[in-house]
Structure 1
């Protein structure tokens, strides 16, 4: 290893700020596009003369493309360089966003969304890997705090932002607005993003694992979606059987690889696997709440879309406060303890919404929303920091991919559970969703607190030692 690689410890200021801005801009548009189209689906379906059920593919195609390609692109990041994969993702995302805006049929829009999803997957697959080399080790938590802030606010604020755009423009602008933002991100990325300060030792991409990964996770998502939308068990069961069969051979292949596509080697690290589990549970809880709450606010409380958007806003606002704060606290407090406290606040907010939302004023609901957002932000930063820093430097791509997969798995499962709750509890589906959300957040809190008994990754421990000197 060269002297330059040994001494690498992040970018200097102000290059660091420009680099993180490039990451933030790319992740913002990619996460937003996962939810921003939901609000416009009725208008898009009518304009393109599509049925409501078929228009759902505008959303599903994007998410499915991300799921089937995320781990493969993470592996390519370790091999080709995180900067190259990120810039490639920006290029694909900009072109396909324009294609979405210019689409004149459901077929062309859906195809464009598939390739837009591949671009988004490239961005999500290496963003935290880039943050690891952008920030000095002692300030990694701050970088992760910014990333957690961007992801959480973009995910929670998507419907509100979409409503704002649609109030002054047509649905095409939901996609067209990405283009100038991504162009700026591209300029900043070419200028300021660093190359990997790690040798890759002639490592090659495993195409067979890539195909098996895409097939396994793609069919798994299809099965989950099919179950929640009432597809016959005679159709679902064979598909589930194929998932289990291919998944078995996929995992077996990964166990024999030195650098597995599915990072099963990293899952052998206790604090890494626990962090993946808490991340999945937290995003299940978030989606259970964020998907079900608009139905409660509009159907139960009789609020209009504007009032609903305003009452949902305290959630992302509180996250904006908590995530950067957690990034600084992690330099002094054990990340597992900080994450457990955040999840406990998150859980309390969800249970308060489930029990008292129909009994308190709008101010009370806003307070409960803020509790959820603050707790979620306080958890995500330390959890992401543990997950990324516990992996070896040359496996940062695999760790980043698992972080993205944990988020997507949680969000997909959470949204599917909402649909299931509305089927099982036709009248009280929202309440059931919120109780389930609180349960998942509580489970995640318990698991997070168990991490206090485990030593933190060396990178985080070094930061705390420097603080005490």
Structure 2
């Protein structure tokens, strides 16, 4: 069926959707992205209960999280490329349908292998949502107002990334862990039904490249899988086993294998007009710097966010409720500043806004890393607020640059790279934190402070990449 004939399609000459269709389409984007990102960390708090009820060990239960993340990571780029060919709307709706069905499977899982399999299917469905959401935002908003749409998109990702433990705590306080997945069913059905009517279809394009080969999809999956497993073996497994040589050797071997597969994969992509791995976009200096900024920023965010509970609960002896309320200052500041960042897009260079945002973020992380042993609540709140505000000021302009630098017919590839950069940065941050904990066991605050200082350094590196875009953007124009 021709997408232009479907409800919600837009002509090629239309600059975004009119109201109220725009509000309805963005409601679909907001709710779908919230579910997809939230489920990345939603089950973390329930892992001990899940392992106990399903009679499994802790090491295997970690794959309830890993299966979701890995499945999402390996299909983001293929699904974004598919969206350029068959329509972003179709990929989004199929992804949401699969996510909802897999949530039912996870809710009913009676064994750990069944739950892990359902979580992998959930990850595949979530990838369909995340791979094309930014490309859809580009179609939903007029070009002059795209900054507002990207600000909303960025705010949803940032707040949902950090809200998982809080939402899980609320659900688990009144129900058992299967309800963490049950809540996805009515929301998923509502999003799918509304999306059929409200989401726009791709405008016709004469630039759609040739079909990508199955071998490229396999190489893409193998590269990300090996690198993910290698990093996990070196970092996360090391934290659990004391960083023994066997694990280190296996992790290094997996990483090297991933890099070798990546070399073959990228060589196949090098001269293609619309490659599955968007080398064509990475040749644009502004796009490449934006991707580097994104990886560094999300690495810093994950380092900080994972280190904070250990710092507050273990080193400072605070209660779970107190720690949760304090950490809420971070996403709250993000939600408050993100709309402001959206209004600043277009008035000031994205690279400048991103550089200032990362400077503020780094200052907040540095201040957290230098906390006294027994800080007052206010001393924590303003530092956490700086982190949230700085990240919000960075992310919206950075995502705006990534999406708008790409040609319209490569919006899907740019959208897929947004999710790839986020997951890559978050995985790297988790691995670095696990390595720090392996090298500095015991939670007296030393390892946590070191992690926060390293996070500040990553934020500084991201800010440098962002600031370099100001000069490159002038050349690009």
Q: Aligning the two structures, in what range does the TM-score lie when normalised by the shorter sequence? A: over 0.9
- Change in CA separation of 1:44 and 1:456 when aligned onto 2, cut-off 3 Å: farther
Q: 2:25 aligns with which of 19, 22, 28?
A: 19
Work out the CA distance in 2 between the residues paired with 1:186 and 1:5.
23
1:37-436 superposed matches below 5 A = 37-199=43-205, 201=208, 203-228=210-235, 229-230=237-238, 232-356=247-371, 358-427=373-442, 428-436=446-454
Summarize the alignment of residues 455-466 of structure 1 with structure 2, pairs less than 5 Å apart: 455=473
User: CA separation in 1, counterparts of 2:13 and 2:452?
Assistant: 48
Equivalent pair of 1:315/1:370 in contact (CA under 8 Å): yes
TM-fit CA distance, 1:153: 0.2
- 5+ long unaligned stretches in structure 1: 462-469
Compute the displacement of 1:198 (Å): 3.3
Q: CA deviation at 1:367?
A: 1.2
Residue ranges of structure 2 left out of the alignment (5+ in a row)? 5-9, 239-245
Tell me the SS of whatever aligns to 2:40: coil
CA distance in 2, matches of 1:232, 1:342: 38
**Does the CA-based 8 Å contact 1:350-1:435 persist in structure 2?**
yes
CA distance in 2, matches of 1:136, 1:326: 17
1:317-350 C-alpha deviation (Å, 9 max, x unpaired) = 0000111111111131111111111111111000
The alignment partner of 1:358 has SS state of: coil
Segment of structure 1 superposing worse, 199-208 or 433-442: 199-208
* Cα displacement (A) at 1:444: 1.0
Contact 1:386–1:457 (CA under 8 A) maintained in structure 2: no
Checking the alignment, whether the CA contact within 8 Å between 2:76 and 2:130 is kept in structure 1 is yes
**Any idea what the Cα deviations from partners look like across 1:97-156, whole Å, max 9, x if unmatched?**
111011111010000001100001111100000000000000010000000000000001
Whole-angstrom distance in 2 between the partners of 1:35 and 1:202: 36
- Matches of 2:94 and 2:213, distance apart in 1: 20
TM-score where L is the length of structure 2: 0.93
Give the direction of change, closer, same or farther, for the CA distance of 1:201–1:61 in structure 2 (3 Å limit).
Answer: closer
Residue 469 of structure 2 corresponds to: 451
SS of the aligned residue for 1:59 comes to: helix
CA shift, 1:238, in A, is: 3.3
Q: Secondary structure at the match of 2:211?
A: coil
CA displacement at 1:457 relative to structure 2? 10
Structure-2 separation of matches of 1:193 and 1:236 = 43
Deviates most, 123-132 or 156-165: 156-165
Partner secondary structure for residue 311 of structure 1: helix
Q: Matches of 2:188 and 2:256 in 1, distance apart?
A: 41
Residue 6 of structure 1: how far off its partner (Å): 4.9
1:464 counterpart residue number = none
SS at match of 2:437: helix
Structure 2 counterpart of 1:441:
459
Is residue 386–residue 456 contact of structure 1 (8 Å, CA) maintained in 2?
no
Q: What SS is found at the alignment partner of 1:33?
A: helix
